[in-house]
Amino acid sequence: MKRIFKDWDRDGSGVISQENLVEVLQGVTELAEEDVQRLMLEMDTNCNGVIEYNEFVDWLMRPPEKSKLRALLDYSSILRPLFDVFDRNGDGWISKAEFSECHKILQSAIRAYVREEGGAVKLYYDPLDLGMESEEAFDRVDSTKDGVLTFRDFTEWMHGHLTRCEETPRQQLLEATQKIARLLAGTIRSKALAGCNPLPRISFTPDPEESRAMERIMNNLGKATVDFKDIAGQCRENQHTNVWSQPPIGLSSRRLRMTHIATGPPSNPLIADESLDTLCVPCPGGENKPNCRPWLGKVTRQFTLEGRRFSEAPEYYEYCTHNFQWEPLPDDVSEKKFEDALDRLGRDAAIFCALKTEADFGRVLDWPGICTALNQAADLRLMSRSQVEEFQYSVEEQIHAQFNAEGLLDCCTPTAVPSSGNIMVQTFLEQKLRLAPGRVMAKLCEMGFVQAGAIWDKFTDDKNSWL
C-alpha cells in the first residue's frame, strides 16, 4: 500500500492533493470534475484538503460496493474491453443502435449455445440483462436518460453484480470479459463481411462451410457469455443470509395499507386512480421462531392528478409481534433497514414475497393479483417486463391448449375458434383462475426465470394443469 500511495503522491509531498488525484485518474478512467471532488470528499475524512496515508489505506480497504466511484476505478480495467466493443465507432459512448446490435447478438449466441448443449436458457442471474428486450435493457443502463451510455453508465450497470463480496474472482472475471469482447468483436466483423460482400453469387444457396463457421463462432460466444454470468454470480448467493419463513400471526398487507391510510394525509378529491403498492419482507434472522420474527413493510402511494401520474416517496413500517400492529419506522433508518432486508433476501424469495403480499398472505391469488405482483417485481428490477409478458402469454397458451384438449372449444365454429377461444381464456383468467403463490413460482422456475426452491418445488408436479 505504501508503494501505491507513493505512486499517487506525484509531487512527493507525503500527501495526495486533488491535483495529484486528477493526474492519476486521467491515466485510469474518465471522471468529471464533480466526480473527482466527490472522490476527494470520500477519501479526505478529516477535511483538511489532502489525503493522508491512513485515509488512503482506509479508503482502499473499504468494499467497492460502498462507493460507485471506487467500483468505477476497481472495475475499469475489467469492463473497458467490453465497453469498447459495444462502442462500435469509438466515439466514447454507446448509442442505442450500437447497444441493441451487441445485445441481440449476445442473446442469439446464448440460444445457439443452449441448442448445441441442450436444456433451457436460465436467466435468473442475468448481469447483462439478456432476458430483456434491448430497448428495455438500454433504458435501465441509461441512468442519466440522455440517450447514450458513457463508460460510467456502463460500470454502474455492472456495479451491483460485481461488488457483492470481496471474493469475486477478479482474474477469472477479467479473462471471461476479455473473451466475450474478443468473440463479440469477431462476430460483428463476420456479420459485416457477410452483409457487405461485393462479389456476385451464382447461387442464393448459403455456403455450408460459412454457415458452420458462423455457428461455431456463435456457440463459442454463447459459452463465453454463460461463463461470465456464472463467474460474476459465484458469490452472490452466499450474500443472501435472509431467508423466507412463515409469517407471524396477524401479519396482513391489507392492515398495513389501512395503517398507512390512517396515519397519512387526507385524500384529495381531485386525485383519481389512487393505489397503494405494498411489499412485505422478513427481517434478517429469527427464521427459527417465525411467530416472533419482525417483518418490514413498504407502501408507495400512486395517483393521477390533472392527467399526470405521480408516485410519492415510500413510507416504511415494522410489524410488531407483541401487539400485532404495524408501526412507522423512523425516517433516518427506514429505507436502509428495508433495502438491506430485501437485498439479503435474494431476488427469487423477494418475488415470492411480492406474490404473498398481494395475496394478503393467504393461500391463493387471482389472475389480476398475480399480474400486479409480477409487475411490481419488474418495478423493483427483480425480473424484466419481457419476462412478465412471456409468463402471461405462456399461461394463456397453456390454458387455451387444455381447453382444446378437453373439448371445451368444440362448440366454436372453425372460423371462430381463435377469437372465441381467446374470449373463453380471458374470461377464465379474470373470473376463475386461482393459483397459490408457490404455483406461480414453479411456473417461473419452469421458464428459467427463477431457480428451484424448497417452497415452490412441491408445486412442480401439477404445473401443467390449470383448470
Dihedral (Cα; 114, 117, 118, 121), 10-degree rounding: -30
Domains by residue range for the chain, with CATH: 2-61 (1.10.238.10), 77-196+217-239 (1.10.238), 240-345 (no CATH), 363-467 (no CATH)
Cell output for 69: 466511484
Read off φ and ψ for residue 311, nearest 5 degrees.
Answer: -130, 120
Q: What are the residues whose beta carbons fall under 8 Å from the beta carbon of 369, sequence distance 6 or more?
A: 358, 359
CA–CA dist 433, 371 (Å, integer): 12
Q: How far is CA 184 from CA 41, 81, 188, 190, 260, in A?
A: 39, 11, 6, 10, 51
CA–CA dist 173, 228 (Å, integer): 7
**DSSP string for residues in 352-419:** HHHHHHHTTTSS-EEHHHHHHHHHHHHHTTSS-HHHHHHHHHHHHHHHHHHHHHTTTTTTS-GGGHHH
Our CA angle for 132, 314, 243, nearest 5°, is 65
Query: Helix and strand tally (H, E) in the chain?
Result: 18, 9
Q: What local confidence, expressed as pLDDT, does residue 192 receive?
A: 72
Residue type, 176: A
Q: What local confidence, expressed as pLDDT, does residue 166 receive?
A: 46
Low-confidence stretches of the chain (pLDDT beneath 50): 164-167, 197-204, 235, 237-238, 412-418, 463-467
Asked whether the beta carbons of 256 and 299 are under 8 A apart, the reply is yes
Q: What local confidence, expressed as pLDDT, does residue 282 receive?
A: 94
CA–CA dist 166, 324 (Å, integer): 40
Q: What local confidence, expressed as pLDDT, does residue 450 receive?
A: 85
Q: State how far Cα 115 lies from the chain centre.
A: 25
Paired with 365 in beta bridges are 435
Q: What local confidence, expressed as pLDDT, does residue 26 receive?
A: 64
Q: What local confidence, expressed as pLDDT, does residue 80 receive?
A: 85
**DSSP string for residues in 402-433:** HHHHTTTTTTS-GGGHHHHHHHHHHHHHHHT-
- pTM, to two decimals: 0.62
pLDDT in tens, 60-83: 776 555 555 565 666 677 888 899
Q: What local confidence, expressed as pLDDT, does residue 277 receive?
A: 93
What Rg value do the Cα atoms of the chain yield, rounded? Answer: 26
CA–CA dist 384, 388 (Å, integer): 7
Which of 93, 89, 87, 91 lies closest to 146, judged by CA? 93
